[in-house]
């Protein structure tokens, strides 16, 4: 539950205007420093600017802001959107629309958090603190000034850090935490002094003077006011701040009881040209103070007229705090004249206005005066005084405790942040260490993988060399077969055909000289022998022709030998189908070697894992692909686990080398089918 405190001290009658000046100059629009002509060329910013134009009526300003709000909600640019709402928030605050201010301010804080815009976040908390300060919810005001301060401190923005400290000090003063306010103000001065921010330093020393006066340290208060004036003299645009300070010095002397010393300060303020038109509030305050001090010093000539004049000015401008003070001063005047009825009437009005403006300090003074003026109700007013004073003290104590908790929690939060920062550094170090360790492990594993890949490539190269040697061996066997066949045919021609032809030639040579019947019979036999030789020669010729045209492919022979060896060793029946008219040896060496190894790997898997009885192998080639299909009737397996073994990875590696593809189809207890598709478009194939 927030504590609402609205205490107006005796001194606040004269310091409330500096506070207003502070809000306008120091605590005013935080964003104004960042607004420029370029940014207002944006239509939304332009409408917000019109919404803050004091020359327009509140209704028209509200209309512009509503249009800007609608457009801002539709913005997709987060960085611009947060600035739109930041400007809208302060515009609604200046317009006095507390409901829309709270709404847009909350949206600004949320957007700033999302966009990680610390500057806008600090400004939004500043605006909200100003709102709470204006509505006398001082604990919330302090909290949000503190939030803004912490952000500016984190950003190392010394200027705004000092300003927030000053704002916090003012709130501390308002709850009568004078020691805390003094300490915070000094911290602000230490930050602002090296920056030579003279106007802000003037405000800080003015606050120290107010605190000292409330602590009844009047001489110190005057010293601080004089110091404030020194800094103000270094400011180009002094405005009317010097006259405010002169009025405040006069009040210090009044509170000190030195009324004669106070009078010249009020007279100097009132002598300012055109002050009654330029700042009627300050003029009426100084006029009331002058009349009151003259009354207290015994000079009553014209005092009533001055007090009435001050009252009328205050009444015309609706200065409720000033009206309350005027009625109180008039009550004191009539009391000094023993006009109890008039004094009681004005004191009663002072009480009424003090209650309705939550001016508790003035209300206490008025209750004390009423207890002296109204003897019949003296006890009642005294009781009201005691109750109000106790409530004020209790609320001030609660507020100070709450401020102490805020400061403690803030310090605790800072300490936790420092701890978290250290922990973050430790964890960062650990993370870096783990990252380096992970990198080292990765390098080692990667190097091992590369070595393993190199060994695998070397093994494949050795395997390819083995297959190549096998092909050469097979070719040698074919050549040996050819030579054996040639030798056999040569022997047949030499031993059989040539012998018979020689015998027939010799018989015919002897018979050429004979013409008898016996010779003719022998010639017929010789001719028959020659015909027989002709038949033998024709037969040998046919054998030679068949041998010449018969294809003996080394690649297919190697596959057949592989199937025979595996079948003999495992007892599995092998069935191999291929096209006899295809020149299989025209395939590139890379395709033949990798195909042989893949078939070999698949056959080994069938023998080891399939528990099959039959294996069917089929080679089909067309214009673009060599299709190899291997089917077994084994127990099958789950396809999800089909390509995870080392052998399967070897097949995948080899199929990639020839730019091919492969597929496994298997069901439990229904066997396995593996298909290999290898492109042959770039290899010479003849049929």
Inside any domain, residue 235: no
Task: Give the pair of three-digit tokens for residue 493.
Answer: 């021609």
Query: Are 482 and 498 part of one and the same domain?
Result: yes
pLDDT at 640: 66
339-390, pLDDT tens digit by residue?
999 999 999 999 999 999 888 889 888 899 998 988 888 899 889 889 888 8
- What is the band of 328 on the pLDDT scale with cuts at 50, 70, 90? very high
pLDDT of residue 611: 87
Looking at residue 104, its pLDDT comes to 93
pLDDT at 245 over 90: yes
What is the C-alpha to C-alpha distance for residues 317 and 332, in angstroms, rounded to an integer?
23
* pLDDT tens by residue, 652-666: 888 998 899 999 998
Q: Quick: pLDDT tens for 540-567.
A: 665 554 544 444 457 888 888 889 888 8
Q: Looking at residues 509-537, what average pLDDT do you find? A: 70
Range in 46-60, 269-283, 517-531, 662-676 the model is least confident about: 517-531
How does DSSP classify residue 613? S
Instruction: Average the pLDDT over 292-307 and give the result.
Output: 92
Instruction: Report d(CA 592, CA 564) in Å as an integer.
Output: 18
Question: What's the rounded Cα separation, in Å, for the pair 303 and 680?
Answer: 121
End residue of a domain, out of 508, 525, 549: 549
Per DSSP, the three-state class of 135 is coil
| Share of residues in the chain with pLDDT > 90 (%) | 44
Answer whether residue 40 is part of any domain.
Answer: no
Q: What angle do CA 34, 36, 41 make, to 5 degrees?
A: 125
Tell me if 352 is assigned to some domain.
Answer: no
Length of the chain: 687
Find the range with the poorest average confidence among 178-192, 478-492, 558-572. Answer: 478-492
Strand arrangement of the beta sheet that strand 625-632 belongs to = 573-577, 614-621, 625-632, 672-679, 661-666
What token pair was written down for 448? Answer: 């091992």
pLDDT-derived band at 504 (thresholds 50, 70, 90) equals: low
Residue 393, both tokens: 């003290």
- Is 578 in the same domain as 600? yes
Distance CA 71, CA 74 (A): 5
- The whole-number pLDDT of residue 576 equals 93
Q: How far apart are CA 639 and CA 293, in angstroms?
A: 106
- The answer to whether 89 touches 101, Cβ cutoff 8 Å, is yes
Number of domains the chain contains: 2
Residues 418, 495, single domain; the answer is yes
Say what the pLDDT of residue 63 is. 93
Asked if the model's pLDDT at residue 505 lies above 70, the reply is no
Structure confidence at residue 375 (pLDDT): 85
> Are 501 and 530 a contacting pair, CB within 8 Å?
yes
The angle, 0 to 180 degrees and rounded to 10, between the axes of the packed helices 43-51 and 78-95 is: 10
Whether 114 is in a domain gets the answer: no
Q: Do both 522 and 436 map to the same domain?
A: yes
pLDDT tens per residue across span 98-149: 999 999 999 999 999 998 999 999 999 999 999 999 988 888 999 999 999 9
Mark whether 456 and 512 lie in a shared domain.
yes
- Which range marks the domain in which residue 511 is found? 407-549
Alpha-carbon distance of 193 to 148, in angstroms, equals 20
Rounded to an integer, what distance in angstroms lies between the CA atom of residue 181 and that of residue 203? Answer: 13
H-state helical runs in 496-629: 498-511, 517-549, 554-570, 589-605
The strand pair at 625-632 and 661-666 is best described as unpaired
Tell me the longest C-alpha to C-alpha distance in the chain: 202
Same domain, 536 and 578: no
Q: Is 429 within a domain?
A: yes
Spatial distance between the Cα atoms of 489 and 157, rounded to a whole number of angstroms: 111
**Between 188 and 601, where is the model more confident?**
188
- Asked if residue 382 is part of any domain, the answer here is no
7 pLDDT higher than 60: no
pLDDT, tens digit, 9 for 90 and up, residues 384-427: 889 888 887 787 777 667 666 666 665 555 566 667 667 778 88
CATH number of domain containing 646: 3.30.565.10
Cα(379)–Cα(344) distance, rounded to whole angstroms?
16
DSSP per-residue string spanning 294-331: HHHTT--TTHHHHHHHHHHHHHHHT-HHHHHHHHHHHH
**How much is the pLDDT for 391?**
84
pLDDT tens digits, 14-39: 433 343 334 333 444 454 444 444 44
Q: Is residue 540 domain-shared with residue 613, that is, in the same domain?
A: no
635 and 601 inside one domain: yes
Give the rounded percent of residues in the chain with a pLDDT score beyond 70: 77
- Asked if 435 and 480 sit in the same domain, the reply is yes
């Amino acid at each position: 539950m927030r504590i609402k405190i609205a205490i107006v001290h005796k001194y606040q009658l004269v310091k409330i205007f500096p506070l207003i000046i502070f809000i306008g100059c120091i605590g005013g629009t935080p964003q104004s420093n960042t607004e420029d002509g370029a940014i207002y060329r944006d239509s939304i910013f332009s409408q917000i600017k019109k919404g803050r134009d004091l020359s327009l009526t509140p209704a028209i300003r509200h209309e512009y802001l509503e249009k800007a709000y609608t457009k801002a909600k539709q913005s997709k640019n987060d960085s611009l959107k947060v600035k739109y709402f930041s400007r809208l928030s302060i515009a609604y605050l200046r317009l006095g629309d507390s409901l829309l201010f709270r709404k847009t301010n909350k949206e600004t804080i949320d957007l700033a958090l999302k966009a990680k815009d610390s500057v806008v976040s600090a400004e939004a908390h500043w605006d909200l603190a100003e709102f709470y300060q204006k509505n006398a919810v001082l604990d919330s005001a302090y909290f949000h000034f503190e939030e803004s301060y912490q952000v500016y401190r984190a950003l190392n923005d010394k200027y705004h850090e000092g300003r927030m400290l000053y704002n916090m000090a003012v709130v501390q003063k308002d709850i009568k935490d004078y020691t805390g306010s003094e300490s915070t103000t000094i911290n602000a001065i230490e930050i602002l002094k090296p920056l030579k921010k003279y106007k802000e330093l003037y405000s800080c020393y003015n606050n120290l003077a107010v605190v000292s006066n409330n602590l009844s340290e009047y001489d110190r208060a005057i010293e601080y006011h004089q110091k404030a004036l020194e800094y103000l003299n270094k400011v180009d645009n002094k405005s009317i701040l010097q006259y405010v300070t002169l009025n405040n010095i006069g009040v210090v002397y009044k509170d000190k009881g030195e009324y004669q010393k106070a009078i010249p300060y009020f007279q100097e303020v009132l002598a300012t040209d055109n002050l009654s038109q330029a700042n009627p509030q300050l003029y009426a305050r100084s006029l009331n103070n002058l009349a009151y001090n003259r009354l207290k010093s015994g000079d009553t000539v014209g005092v009533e007229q001055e007090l009435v004049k001050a009252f009328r000015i205050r009444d015309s401008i609706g200065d409720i705090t000033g009206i309350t003070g005027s009625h109180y001063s008039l009550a004191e005047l009539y009391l000094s004249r023993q006009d109890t009825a008039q004094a009681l009437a004005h004191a009663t009005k002072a009480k009424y206005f003090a209650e309705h403006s939550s001016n508790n300090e003035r209300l206490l003074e008025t209750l004390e005066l009423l207890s002296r003026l109204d003897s019949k109700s003296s006890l009642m007013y005294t009781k009201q005084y005691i109750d109000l004073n106790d409530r004020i003290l209790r609320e001030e104590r609660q507020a100070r405790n709450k401020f102490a908790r805020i400061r403690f929690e803030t310090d605790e939060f800072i300490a936790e942040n420092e701890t978290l920062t250290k922990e973050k550094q430790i964890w960062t170090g650990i993370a870096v260490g783990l990252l380096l360790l992970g990198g080292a492990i990765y390098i080692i594993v990667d190097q091992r993988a590369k070595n393993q890949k190199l060994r695998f490539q070397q093994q494949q190269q050795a395997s390819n060399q083995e297959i190549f040697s096998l092909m050469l061996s097979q070719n040698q066997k074919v050549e040996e077969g050819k030579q054996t066949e040639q030798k056999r045919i040569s022997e047949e021609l030499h031993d059989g055909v040539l012998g018979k032809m020689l015998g027939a030639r010799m018989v015919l040579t002897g018979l050429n000289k004979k013409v008898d019947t016996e010779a003719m019979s022998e010639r017929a036999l010789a001719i028959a022998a020659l015909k027989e030789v002709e038949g033998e020669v024709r037969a040998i010729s046919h054998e030679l022709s068949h041998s010449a045209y018969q294809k003996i492919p080394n690649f297919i022979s190697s596959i057949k030998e592989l199937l025979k060896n595996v079948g003999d060793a495992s007892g599995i029946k092998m069935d191999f189908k291929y096209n006899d008219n295809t020149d299989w040896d025209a395939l590139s060496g890379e395709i033949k070697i990798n195909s042989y190894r893949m078939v070999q790997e698949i056959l080994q898997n069938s023998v080891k894992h399939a528990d099959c009885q039959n294996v069917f192998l089929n080679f089909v080639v067309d214009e673009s692909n060599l299709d190899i299909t291997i089917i077994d009737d084994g127990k099958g397996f789950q396809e999800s686990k089909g390509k995870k073994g080392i052998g399967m990875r070897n097949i995948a590696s080899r199929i990639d080398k020839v730019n091919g593809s492969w597929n496994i189809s298997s069901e439990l207890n229904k066997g396995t089918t593996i298909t290999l598709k290898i492109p042959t478009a770039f290899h010479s194939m003849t049929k």
